[in-house]
Structure 1
């Protein structure tokens, strides 16, 4: 029995050994595949170009009025008469339009009138027009009024008129004297007083600057010797100056060149001008001083061809136009566009006419460029009211 067990055990062991050698050896596990290289990062796509900004819509063509309003001062006045003359010439000689006069108490209303389309042309003065277009005085901070020049007209002299016995030979001699020049409410006469004092280094502390309320008051004061000098705008044919000159009660005092340079630099609304000798009785010398000019202005946005037609109508028919009032003769060319007296830019339509007549020079062009740069820097006009 024991022998049988041993034999059986040996048989089992041999069987197991045979089985182990008959089985295939296991294949070694393959080496792990290398980690794949990271995919290259794609280059960032270029930022899309912004779409071009749409072109601004063209400005609408200005509406050309068929009935032009010509701003003037109160009726009756010289400027009203001149304005009516402009109306008549335009209505007769400019095809497709008529005109009418629009009367205002003062040309200080013109800037707002132009801006609001209430007037299209105006008979003003260089004093007010320059302040409105260049943003001076009460128009400071309101931009530039939309006004352009066609022509300048009659001069208004603003020099010192002295009592012949006052000892005043130059405005510097006003020191310690009585000068009747201020009229309450008059911006022009305020500026006249300030400009003359500035030109000669004087002040209201050393000049007795007096007020007046009417021409009758200062004429009487001059006749009676109660003042040493007076100030009021005067033309080449002012009746009250003729009255004083006829009685030997007025002396025409000239300004020094260096003083005029200071005055016109500080007060660009004033221009140097000369009252010729012999204009008034007893005036044996030219009076060189400063003053203002009447102006014919036009809306800056009126089409050039229309303004050209207006300018041509006035000057091609100048004899007819000037026949309405003697002062219109001072609008005659070429003096009406003296480059040294142009205070605001000239309208392109008027320039076209002057170029055709050979009156527009390099000096005019330089002046025009300088004026346009100044007014464009001020921006659009914002009405006072």
Structure 2
């Protein structure tokens, strides 16, 4: 059957217009059209605070930074997150400051320095050492000979656990080591697979709250002498007091080491993008506070006071714009 020329022309025109329409739709995105820039936010496990915090960040970025689409990703947390930034598999990462320090120095878990830059500080982590109320573990010295989860492989929790325990003279060969995520810690304590679970996380965290709804728990408190040993060996760890009643059944104040967390990027992120992200976050911070109350500590002032890696030029621009003085040690080399 021969198709008349006029009909063939109409079919060709229709196909061409369809292809052009598809290409136009694919090429548009964001609030003002143009190519969408996709950002992966490396967080942590779903049982911690990084994941909901990162999800709230993604929501703010998607609503308020034109032409950008951000997604919060579940990861092994701080150590893995630094490596994801280095390989550009993630563009934004949530990290504990002790891991940030090791990453920029190329020490501990890192065989080379990673050129990280700080966008802003988030909130402090509390070193939760959790066991069941009827456990015979009542002090850090009682960990000897027990089954202890020190955190997921590649996590900031394991990095901190290793160092804190080391400062107290406790080595991994003195107890049975488990490397579990926060959610796995909860299940393992619930089923008595482990005696103690360690969380380095902002309080209150959902996985411990979940455990406390079904089992009576207790948290180990550090003595003044123990805190002094930790701070002397690792000065980037501070002291934090957890208010009584933060978790169901924990009716006394608990003292333990703490470390700040920061939102980090690679130095290769453009100044304009970093500036827009920082500005959007601080102008809409209440959206994160609604998801995680600890985000009340996310302030420009805390960012300058607690950063351990240089600020990104985009962050410097924003902080100066709102009238803050940025100390010289936080000005990145590329701005000097």
Name the TM-score class by shorter chain: 0.5 to 0.7
Residue equivalent to 2:108: 137
Residue equivalent to 1:342: 307
Residue equivalent to 1:289: 256
Give 1:275 deviation, angstroms.
1.9
**CA offsets per residue over residues 30-74 of structure 1, 9 Å max, x none?**
xxxxxxxxxxxxxxxxxxxxxxxxxxxxxxxxxxx9725233247
Structure 1 pair 105/159, CA: closer, same or farther in 2 (3 Å)? closer
Match for residue 67 of structure 1 among 18, 37, 41: 37
Residue equivalent to 2:116: 147
**CA offsets per residue over residues 205-248 of structure 1, 9 Å max, x none?**
6x4344375321223329xxx83x44234542334433554567
Match for residue 243 of structure 2 among 253, 276, 280: 276
Structure 1 pair 184/320, CA: closer, same or farther in 2 (3 Å)? closer
Residue equivalent to 1:121: 92
Match for residue 327 of structure 2 among 365, 374, 382: 365
**CA offsets per residue over residues 124-145 of structure 1, 9 Å max, x none?**
44454333222123313x12x1
Structure 1 pair 87/178, CA: closer, same or farther in 2 (3 Å)? closer
Structure 1 pair 221/291, CA: closer, same or farther in 2 (3 Å)? farther
Q: CA RMSD in A?
A: 4.0
Match for residue 326 of structure 1 among 292, 295, 314: 292
Give 1:260 deviation, angstroms.
3.2
Matches within 5 A, 1:224-239: 227=195, 229-239=196-206
Q: Does 1:178 align with 2:146?
A: yes
Conserved? CA contact 2:76–2:152, under 8 Å: no
Structure with more strand by fraction? 2
Q: Which runs of 5+ in 1 are unaligned?
A: 1-64, 374-385
Give 1:119 deviation, angstroms.
4.0
Conserved? CA contact 2:102–2:108, under 8 Å: yes
Residue equivalent to 2:221: 254
Q: Name whichever of 71-80 and 151-160 sits farther off.
A: 71-80
Q: Which has the larger radius of gyration?
A: 1
Conserved? CA contact 1:182–1:212, under 8 Å: yes
Residue equivalent to 1:19: none
Q: Which runs of 5+ in 2 are unaligned?
A: 1-34
Between the aligned partners of 2:276 and 2:318, the Cα distance in structure 1 is: 9
Q: Does 1:101 align with 2:68?
A: no
Residue equivalent to 1:191: 159
Secondary structure of 2:191's partner? helix
TM-score (norm 1): 0.60
Conserved? CA contact 2:131–2:137, under 8 Å: yes
TM-score (norm 2): 0.67
Secondary structure of 1:231's partner? strand
Secondary structure of 2:71's partner? strand
Give 1:296 deviation, angstroms.
1.5
Structure 1 pair 184/301, CA: closer, same or farther in 2 (3 Å)? closer
Between the aligned partners of 1:104 and 1:175, the Cα distance in structure 2 is: 30
Conserved? CA contact 2:42–2:72, under 8 Å: yes
Structure 1 pair 66/157, CA: closer, same or farther in 2 (3 Å)? same
Between the aligned partners of 2:64 and 2:76, the Cα distance in structure 1 is: 28
Matches within 5 A, 1:149-168: 149-164=118-133
Conserved? CA contact 2:127–2:257, under 8 Å: yes
Conserved? CA contact 1:330–1:336, under 8 Å: no
